[in-house]
């Protein structure tokens, strides 16, 4: 795989170079459900190509934050900028983002290749171009030998890779992951952390990744956002959070076993 990263002449690297990762800027991002704010005044700047992990206990507002960035939920207040352009009013389809969920649903009657290429075809991409893009995504995810299989004949990890393939085939500039590994068994989860990072190293895509798993956050992130009750308690590189937790909550949550 190193060759793909270092050798700029391979088709995969060349295509990836053509699309730089986006910058993301959140200012005062707030979402109210009922009479409470589930996300409150969130400020965050994500650099191009950065891998930022939102971590915190269940119900702290991680998914709501991601859904607002994706355009699946409108903020009550605050701004979302992608590459300096305010995207608040834009729908999900207009934003150059792709999201991978925990509960990905593959089409059981379609092959792996058809599952990966479906979104492109639906957006009007031609057959030959789709085939080329699917082959490239499959190569990056080491799914090339499985392209003719149906999801029922795949392992959990392979199915999750197909779900990622559906997202990367669009070459988004911003990748959003919502607990993509939560449904996998412990051994596979650890393996897939490395896989997601390997993928990130091959692509220029900026990544915002959500998990409730402290170890996942600490091992994967360039920077971690520790969330509690809709607010960012601390934002910083993993070592800084370990060495200097900003609050009792951060120390307790990040120090707790998985
Ligand atoms: P997390 O992903 O960190 O577990 P969520 O963002 O899913 O948290 O949810 C944050 C809070 O907002 C929770 O209390 C949840 O019940 C509430 N919530 C999420 N979506 C909705 C909704 N559509 N309507 C009302 N409340 C919601
Ligand atoms: Mg969630």
- CB of 67 within 6 A of ligand 1: the answer is no
On the CB side of 157, CA atoms within 13 Å amount to 15
Q: Which residue has the higher pLDDT, 250 or 142?
A: 250
CA of 178 to the centre of ligand 2 (A): 7
Q: By alpha-carbon position, which residue is closest to atom 1 of ligand 1?
A: 59
φ and ψ at residue 86, rounded to 5 degrees:
-70, 125
CA separation, residue 165 to residues 50, 131, 223 (Å)? 20, 13, 25
CA distance 88 to 47: 19
Pocket test for ligand 1, best of 31, 36, 64 (most atoms within 8 A of CB): 64
Contacts of 122 (CB under 8 A, 6+ apart): none
Mean pLDDT of 19-35: 94
3-class state of residue 211 by DSSP? strand
CA of 179 to the centre of ligand 1 (A): 14
The DSSP annotation for 122-164 comes to HTT--HHHHHHHHHHHHHHTT-GGGTTS-GGGS-HHHHHHHHH
CA of 256 to the centre of ligand 1 (A): 23
The pLDDT value recorded for residue 123 is 86
Q: By alpha-carbon position, which residue is closest to atom 21 of ligand 1?
A: 33
Q: By alpha-carbon position, which residue is closest to atom 22 of ligand 1?
A: 33
- 179 alpha carbon, closest ligand: 2
pLDDT tens digits along 64-120: 999 999 999 999 999 999 999 999 989 887 888 888 887 778 999 999 999 999 989
CA distance 52 to 46: 7
Strands 77-82, 85-86: pairing is antiparallel
- 72 alpha carbon, closest ligand: 1
For residue 217, the tally of other CB atoms under 10 A from its CB is 24
Locus of tokens 């795949």: 154
Mean pLDDT of 18-25: 85
CA separation, residue 25 to residues 78, 115, 153, 206 (Å)? 11, 32, 41, 12
pLDDT higher than 70, residue 24? yes
- CB of 59 within 6 A of ligand 1: the answer is yes
Specify the DSSP element, H or E, that contains 63.
Answer: helix 62-70
């Amino acid at each position: 795989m190193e060759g793909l990263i270092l050798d700029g002449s391979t088709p995969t690297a060349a295509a990836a170079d053509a699309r730089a990762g986006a910058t993301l800027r959140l200012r005062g991002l707030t979402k109210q459900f009922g009479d409470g704010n589930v996300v409150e005044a969130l400020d965050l700047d994500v650099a191009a190509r950065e891998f930022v992990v939102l971590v915190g206990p269940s119900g702290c507002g991680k998914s709501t934050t991601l859904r607002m960035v994706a355009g699946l939920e409108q903020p009550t207040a605050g701004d979302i900028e992608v590459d300096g352009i305010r995207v608040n009013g834009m729908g999900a389809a207009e934003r150059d983002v792709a999201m991978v969920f925990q509960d990905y649903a593959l089409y059981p009657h379609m092959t792996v290749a058809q599952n990966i290429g479906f979104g492109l075809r639906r957006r009007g991409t031609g057959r030959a171009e789709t085939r080329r893009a699917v082959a490239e995504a499959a190569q990056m995810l080491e799914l090339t030998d499985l392209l003719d299989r149906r999801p029922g004949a795949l392992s959990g990890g392979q199915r999750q890779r197909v779900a990622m393939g559906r997202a990367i085939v669009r070459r988004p500039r911003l990748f959003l992951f919502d607990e993509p590994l939560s449904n996998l068994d412990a051994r596979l989860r650890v393996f897939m952390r490395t896989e997601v990072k390997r993928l990130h190293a091959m692509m220029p895509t900026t990544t915002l990744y959500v998990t409730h798993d402290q170890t996942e956050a600490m091992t994967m992130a360039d920077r971690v956002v520790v969330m509690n009750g809709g607010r960012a308690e601390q934002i910083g590189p993993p070592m800084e959070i370990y060495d200097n937790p900003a609050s009792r909550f951060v120390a307790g949550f990040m120090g707790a076993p998985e």
